[in-house]
Structure 1
Amino acid sequence: MANLFVLQLLNGVQLGVLLFLIAAGLTLVFGIMDVVNLAHGVLYMVGAYFVATFAALTGSFWWGLLLMLPAAIAVGLILEVVVIRRLYARSHLDQVLATFGLVMIANETVKIVWGTSPLSVPTPELLSGSIPLMGPLRYPVYRVGIIVAGLAVALGLFLVINYTRIGMLLRAGATNRAMVSALGVDIGKLFAIVFTLGAVLACFAGALIAPILSVDTGMGESVLILTFVVVVIGGIGSIKGAFLGAILVAVVDTLGGVFGPILLREVLDPSAANQTGRMLAPMLVYILMAVILFAKPAGLFGAKA
Structure 2
Amino acid sequence: MSPILLAEQALNGLQFGLMLFLLAAGLTLVFGIMDMINLAHGSLYMVGAYLAAAVAQATGSFGLAVLGSLLGTAVFGMLLEMSVLRRLYARDHLSQVLATFALILICNEGVRMIWGEQPVMLNTPAALSGPVELLPGLYYPAYRLLIIGVGLAVALLLYVLVTRSRIGMWVRAGASNRPMATALGVNIRWLFTAVFGFGAALCALAGSLLGPLLAVQVGMGESILILAFVVVVIGGIGSIRGALVGALLVGVVDTCSRSLLPAALRQLASPELAANLGPALASILIYVLMAAVLFWKPQGLFPARG
Give the aligned residue type for 1:207: S
Counting only pairs closer than 5 Å after superposition, residues 232-271 of structure 1 correspond to structure 2 as 232-271=233-272
What are the Cα deviations for residues 151-204 of structure 1, in whole angstroms up to 9, with x where unaligned?
101110100111111100101111111111122211101111111111110111
List runs of 5+ in structure 1 lacking aligned partners.
none
Counting only pairs closer than 5 Å after superposition, residues 123-272 of structure 1 correspond to structure 2 as 123-272=124-273
List runs of 5+ in structure 2 lacking aligned partners.
none
Moved more, 253-262 or 21-30: 253-262
Task: Tell me the distance in 2 between the aligned counterparts of 1:271 and 1:70.
Answer: 48
Q: CA deviation at 1:134?
A: 3.6
TM-score (norm 2): 0.97
Contact 1:237–1:302 (Cα < 8 Å) also in 2: yes
Task: Tell me the distance in 2 between the aligned counterparts of 1:304 and 1:83.
Answer: 27
Moved more, 253-262 or 31-40: 253-262
Counting only pairs closer than 5 Å after superposition, residues 89-104 of structure 1 correspond to structure 2 as 89-104=90-105
Shift in CA distance, 304/164, structure 1 to aligned 2, threshold 3 Å: closer
Task: Tell me the distance in 2 between the aligned counterparts of 1:229 and 1:23.
Answer: 9
SS of 2:174's equivalent in the other structure is helix
Contact 2:176–2:305 (Cα < 8 Å) also in 1: no
Partner of 2:53 in structure 1?
A: 52
Task: Tell me the distance in 1 between the aligned counterparts of 2:267 and 2:129.
Answer: 38
Q: CA deviation at 1:304?
A: 5.4
What are the Cα deviations for residues 38-74 of structure 1, in whole angstroms up to 9, with x where unaligned?
0000011111000000011111111111222221221
SS of 2:132's equivalent in the other structure is strand
Partner of 2:116 in structure 1?
A: 115
Task: Tell me the distance in 2 between the aligned counterparts of 1:166 and 1:142.
Answer: 32
What are the Cα deviations for residues 104-147 of structure 1, in whole angstroms up to 9, with x where unaligned?
00000000000011111121123221101344331110000000
Structure 1 runs, 4 residues or longer, greater than 2 Å off: 133-137
CA RMSD of aligned residues (A): 1.1
Identical columns (%): 55
Give the aligned residue type for 2:76: V
SS of 1:133's equivalent in the other structure is strand
Partner of 1:3 in structure 2?
A: 4
Contact 1:65–1:207 (Cα < 8 Å) also in 2: yes
Counting only pairs closer than 5 Å after superposition, residues 40-79 of structure 1 correspond to structure 2 as 40-79=41-80
SS of 1:217's equivalent in the other structure is coil
Contact 1:51–1:207 (Cα < 8 Å) also in 2: yes
Contact 2:147–2:209 (Cα < 8 Å) also in 1: yes
2:67 equivalent to 1:88 = no
Q: CA deviation at 1:267?
A: 2.0
What are the Cα deviations for residues 260-285 of structure 1, in whole angstroms up to 9, with x where unaligned?
11222232112112211121110000
TM-score (norm 1): 0.98
Task: Tell me the distance in 2 between the aligned counterparts of 1:243 and 1:171.
Answer: 16
Contact 1:3–1:134 (Cα < 8 Å) also in 2: no
Partner of 1:26 in structure 2?
A: 27
* Count of residue pairs brought into register by the alignment: 305
Contact 2:51–2:69 (Cα < 8 Å) also in 1: yes
